[in-house]
Amino acid sequence: MTPSPSTTANTHRPRQRFSRRPATLLPALLAVLLAGKVLAADALSLKLSSPPKSSELLAARCQVISAGAWAEGTAAHGELLAKMMKRSNGRLPTRHLVPLHGLCDNIILFQIMQNAQANATTPLRKSFITWLFGNEQRNTAFLEQVDPSCDDLARVIAILSELHRLEKQDPDKFFPLMLAISVVWDSPRPPLHRQVAESSLLKPESDIGKLYAFFRETYASPRAVMPLRDLSVSALTFVVDTPVPTSELVWLQENVRPRRWDDLFASIRYDNARARFAQYWWNNGPYSVAAIQRRGGICVDQAYFTTLAARAHGVPAIFFAGSGTSGGHAWLAVMQRNGNWEMDIGRFRGGGFTTGHATNPQSGNVISDHMLAYTCSRTQQANRNSKADELTRSAIVLYSANYRQAAIAAAEMATQIQPTQLAAWNLREQWAEPNSQEQIAVLDQCAGALRQYPDVVAGVRLRQAAILRSQNQHQQAERLLKTMPAKVDRRDDLARAVGIDQVDAALAQKKPQEARQILEKLLTQQRNQGAKVFGLIETYLDLTRETGQTSEALRFLKRYLPSLQRHSDQNLDRDPRFTNIFDQFLYQAYINNGDERQAERLLKRTQRK
């Protein structure tokens, strides 16, 4: 195990990693729908009954595509939406959900295309747009996958257009691969980890057609480890995120057999010398997979090599990093044929690696290994999720068009059909009256529906506590946080996040003594977490210095640090970065308290060790 240079930083004031996807997909939609300046239905001669039939909506979509009249198409569909809502007295037309979804999806699509066309560097081919959106399956897959809150839509569509042009044989079969590449490579790809000097990094593939050709040939070959038909677009994003030249992937295919991934991880010789001298950055020339195999490496290099090897063979894989009791470590997860993930490739069973963190290839957001179960459950319940996704998209359009009651009803129906539809829960929370009991009640329901996901539950409870504090109900907020489910309490990282939230709340109330006591209690509870609490100790030293509680801090640390050292992993003593770390904390406590003589004595004793 090798600590990364950011080990201490990772434990200092832990960031909340509870994803909340923004509800407003189309910020300009409301203005388009309500403008009423263009009688688009007459201009385009769109023939749409009320409610519209699926065949009519498809024909209308194709007509708008042919004319490139995105604004007019949006306005015409907005007029029809207004008629439908008038018939239902502003309520959700539950008897006509299918036409409603089709209508709303067309509106979303036209708005996306209007923005994409305005930002396109070259005109888009009508044949491509017709192929992409003239088919219901591709149209739905596109709308379900793209995320305007993080995707560069103009770039996504431009890449799709180029890959469609290059695909001469079977664009329908390889559409999921095209879409995955488009939503990942619409932005520059960062390296899988940062423990490499810029001068050593190999530049990512610049020719997107070359990258596509590599993966197309991989999945077209009978040697493919996993058939393309078994992989969703979301799963494929964890294949095509390969920030290296294509030549690296070719080398891995030619020189590395897809076998037990644990064995492959271990096959990279561990560089004990680098670990012994705390040389955590690659210092062996260009950072190529051939060099890693030849020279060996530390855990980040082993995980990097194995992740790229899996992806080169068409297998979804995720590079994880996390903090344990002895410092940082890197490992990976690999998708199995049944859609589940093998989570612990290269991960030590001991060492307290409670949580691993990775980067979502499409959004760039941090994701935890615990939330991969959520991803798997959505893949395995695709039909229910598709219906919930339709309702969620329709809810956004309805709310943008000022049909608030219907929008809320659509979001509620989405969470009834699929209780784990987090995007719909976020909409319901956002649309409830701010800082109200209604909002707290929605969050309660969300926590109950997703109780098997501690990350979500902890995030919900923290937001509820913030609402209660805004109402000056501070005691109720603290009681709420003390009733966290056992799954949350068993996660030391979530416990630290909740503790820091409580400290911030106490400081906001001008209660520095209470803030100090909260930190002391948290540190005591986590004295068996070793290096993971070093960041908390730094926070404690800063807080007590800034609030004039240095004598209290000194008394506490004199008792606490020996206990922490006894409970800590003995490997800490072998890590050059943590040499005399406990004395360093005590030394800083003396300095903060103005006791320079004791600090000097401690320093001399430490130097004699």
Q: Sorting pLDDT into bands at 50, 70 and 90, what band is 338?
A: confident
pLDDT digits (tens, 9 = 90+) for 267-276: 999 999 888 8
b/e per residue, 487-518, with b = 16+ CB within 10 A?
bbbebbbbbbbbbbbbbebbbeeebbebbbbb
Q: CA 186, 187, 192: angle at the middle one, nearest 5?
A: 120
8 Å CB contact between 316 and 328: no
Tokens linked to 581 = 């770390």
What's the CA gap between 335 and 318, in Å, rounded?
9
pLDDT digits (tens, 9 = 90+) for 427-444: 999 999 999 999 999 999
pLDDT digits (tens, 9 = 90+) for 23-50: 444 444 444 444 444 444 455 667 788 8
Class of domain 188-380: alpha beta
The angle that helices 97-119 and 70-87 make with each other, rounded to 10 degrees, is 160
8 Å CB contact between 312 and 261: no
pLDDT digits (tens, 9 = 90+) for 366-384: 989 998 877 665 555 556 7
pLDDT digits (tens, 9 = 90+) for 274-318: 888 888 999 899 999 999 999 999 999 999 999 999 999 999 999
pLDDT digits (tens, 9 = 90+) for 527-573: 999 999 999 999 999 999 999 999 999 999 999 999 999 888 777 76
Amino acid occupying residue 298:
I
What's the CA gap between 560 and 383, in Å, rounded?
54
Amino acid occupying residue 19:
S
Tokens linked to 444 = 């309660």
Tokens linked to 399 = 């709310």
Q: Strand 317-324 and strand 327-335: pairing?
A: antiparallel
Radius of gyration of the chain (CA): 27
Nearest Cα residue to 314 out of 232, 238, 208, 202: 238
Tell me what the pLDDT averaged over the chain comes to.
Answer: 89
Location of structure tokens 């589940």: 340
pTM given for the model: 0.89
Q: Which element (helix H / strand E) includes 404? A: helix 404-417
Q: CA 591, 592, 594: angle at the middle one, nearest 5?
A: 65
* pLDDT number for residue 472: 95
pLDDT digits (tens, 9 = 90+) for 494-527: 999 999 999 999 999 999 999 999 999 999 999 9
| Percent above pLDDT 90 for the chain | 74
* pLDDT number for residue 7: 33
* pLDDT number for residue 44: 65
Location of structure tokens 């994701």: 367
Which residues, in sequence order, are bridge partners of residue 259? none
* pLDDT number for residue 121: 80
pLDDT digits (tens, 9 = 90+) for 349-371: 888 899 999 999 999 999 899 98
